[in-house]
Structures are given as C-alpha cells and as structure tokens.
Amino acid sequence: MKRISNILFILILSSSCAFLSKEKKEFDSLQKVTILQAKIFNGKIKKLNLIYPFQTIAAKLFCADREMALGALKNGLRQVFVSSDRHIETGDVICEYRFKVDEVDKSLVVAKLKIENSKYPLRKVRVPKKYAKLSDKAIARWKRETKTLDEVYKNAIVDRKLFQSKFKKPLASKITAIYGSKRVFNDMKHSWHSGIDFRARKKTKIPASNRGKVVLARHHFFTGKTIIIDHGLGIMTMYCHLSSLKVSEGDIVPLGEIIGISGNTGRSSAPHLHWGVRVNGNWVDGFSLLKEGI
Ligand SMILES: [Zn+2]
C-alpha cells in the first residue's frame, strides 16, 4: 500500500511539473538582477542598456509608471531612452519590467535613477490677445487639435528605431528661449516651455533632426504650421511656427532632409523655430538627446 501511494505521489508530482507553463518555469528559474543605479535630471533623458533576463516571458518596461520603448535584444541587453518628467523634481525614477505569469501580474525592478533637480527660470511672455484669452471658436479648434495630437502620441513607433545616426539640432543659430522655463503669458496664463526656440529669419530651411516618419504636417492654432517626425523607439521631434510644409504625413525622411521653411505662424511673437523633443511620453530638453547619442 505504501509503495502504491509513493508511486501515486511521484505521478502527481511529475504530472504537476509537466503542467507548469513555460513562463512559470522561466519565472521560477530567474536569476537575481543587479539593480542599475544612475542619476537623471528632471526634463532630460538618460540612455541605458538594461539587462533583459527573459526568454519566453514578454516583459514591458515602465519607469515612473510610464512605459518606455525597449530596443532590440543584443547580448542580453536592451537599449532604452529613459525620459524624466519636467515637473517631478525629487525622488527616484524606478524602472521595472512588468509581465504576466499564468495571468498573474508580476514585476522586476531593474534600475533606480535618482532625480537631480534642473533649475528652470520664470519668463514673462507677451503674445497677441487672441492667444492669451481664447475665443470659444479657438477653444473648439484647440480641443480638436489636441485630440489629433493625442492620437499621434498614442501611435508612437515603439518596436523599432528608424534612425542609425546621432540626432542633430535643426539650426546652429542663437537660442532665443530655453527648454523648461515657467511662462506667464500677458500676466495671465501660466504654462511652461516644452521645447527650444532657435532664431530663424523668415524663409530659413528647416532640416529633419534624424531619419523618421512624418506623422503630422498640419496648421495648428498654437504651434502654427507644424511637423512631427516619429523616429521610433519612443522618440519624436516637432518643428513649429513654419511658413510652409515641404513634406506630407506618411513620408519617410532622411536625416537633414528639408521638411519646412521657418516662419511666424501660430502663437509666436517673432519668426523663430520651436523645436520639441518628446521621448516616451515626456517633452524633454532636446540637448540631452543630442548628448546621449544613439
Ligand atoms: Zn517655443
């Protein structure tokens, strides 16, 4: 009798092993991952190569609860451009993989980035009345355009990168407004500057900062004639206040291609180029992208 129960026990044990899912087996044998420690400035990016310890488990990366696009797996590592929210000035950005094992949510912390506080100044800006106090018609237009932008951001290319070279700043001219400053428009509306303004005389040719897909080429209320290029891996660049658009939505443009001509359209007090850089859902200081390389 004892022998039979032993055999039964072994049978149950081996059959339960046989029914372990691939993910469960992998999860049970996961090695401890050393947590990468680094620093990041709020409003800037940090390029990291993170250990990716999974084979069959499909894990997504979240930093400060925001999904970050993961580059292709190479020697057990995946490249990620971690971006940090401009407005979160203290604490840590925790990066963790999130995945499911037999329908149960799991997570694994892989990096901890201490936030270093960038000091951003306050600037007063004067703009025509219609941009400081919006009419009902303007509000309706702005809402429509916000929806369009939300769609563009939602559909960001995250599973591949379209560029092979370093990002370049669009112009070598004087910076007339830095990234990140808090802004008060006509002593009323409070906002912040989410890009970098370059001096650009009218009719200056504006090149693409890197290879990518044109995902927006339209005239918007605030940003005037605007182009957004999706470069993949969660990275987009935006070019505003143009006088004309030289590319169309859907075009793939190489680095340096002339995509538009500078101007003074939208909420702009003088001809200039507003250059925005969006990485994994945060508008960041474009110079930090130039610095991090590829
Ligand atoms: Zn600007």
pLDDT score of 17: 52
| Measured distance CA(22)–CA(61) in Å, rounded | 21
Same domain flag for 141 and 95: no
pLDDT score of 3: 59
Distance 195 CA to ligand 1 centre (A): 5
Same domain flag for 168 and 283: yes
Nearest to 86 by CA among 276, 230, 251, 223: 276
Report if pTM > 0.75: yes
Distance 263 CA to ligand 1 centre (A): 13
Structural domains of the chain, count = 2
In one-letter notation, the amino acid at residue 85 is D
Domain boundary among 56, 89, 116: 116
Distance 112 CA to ligand 1 centre (A): 32
Query: Would you say 176 and 198 are in contact if contact means Cβ atoms under 8 Å apart?
Result: yes
Same domain flag for 59 and 174: no
Distance 77 CA to ligand 1 centre (A): 36
Which 8-state DSSP code applies to residue 240?
Answer: E
Sign of CA dihedral 21, 25, 26, 32: positive
Average pLDDT over residues 114-137: 87
Confidence of residue 129 (pLDDT cuts 50, 70, 90): confident
pLDDT score of 116: 96
Same domain flag for 280 and 230: yes
Same domain flag for 111 and 157: no
Distance 172 CA to ligand 1 centre (A): 16
Distance 265 CA to ligand 1 centre (A): 12
Distance 113 CA to ligand 1 centre (A): 28
Q: Tens digits of per-residue pLDDT, 199-226?
A: 999 899 999 999 999 999 999 999 999 9
Confidence of residue 190 (pLDDT cuts 50, 70, 90): confident
Distance 35 CA to ligand 1 centre (A): 37
pLDDT score of 11: 46
pLDDT score of 127: 77
Distance 223 CA to ligand 1 centre (A): 9
Same domain flag for 111 and 153: no
Helix, strand, or coil (residue 267): coil
Could you write out the DSSP letters of every residue in 4-34? HHHHHHHHHHHHHHHTS-HHHHHHHTPPPPP
Q: Would you say residue 15 lies in a domain?
A: no
Q: Tens digits of per-residue pLDDT, 65-93?
A: 999 999 999 999 999 999 999 999 999 99
**β-bridge pairing 66-68 and 252-253:** unpaired
Same domain flag for 105 and 135: no
Q: Is the pLDDT of residue 4 over 60?
A: no
Distance 239 CA to ligand 1 centre (A): 9
Same domain flag for 279 and 160: yes
Same domain flag for 68 and 163: no
Helix, strand, or coil (residue 143): helix
Distance 275 CA to ligand 1 centre (A): 7
Q: Would you say residue 192 lies in a domain?
A: yes
**Of residues 293 and 73, more confidently modeled:** 73
Average pLDDT over residues 144-155: 98
pLDDT score of 14: 47
Distance 5 CA to ligand 1 centre (A): 77
Distance 10 CA to ligand 1 centre (A): 70
Same domain flag for 112 and 135: no
CA distances to 64, 71, 88, 110 from 91, rounded to whole Å, are 10, 26, 8, 17
Average pLDDT over residues 161-177: 96
Averaged pLDDT score across all residues of the chain: 92
Lowest-pLDDT choice from 131-135, 139-143, 168-172, 235-239: 131-135
Lowest-pLDDT choice from 13-22, 43-52, 106-115, 186-195: 13-22
What is the residue range of 43's domain? 21-116
CATH code, domain with 102: 2.60.40
Same domain flag for 140 and 282: yes
Q: Tens digits of per-residue pLDDT, 15-64?
A: 455 578 999 999 999 988 999 999 999 999 999 999 999 999 999 999 99
Query: Would you say 209 and 170 are in contact if contact means Cβ atoms under 8 Å apart?
Result: yes
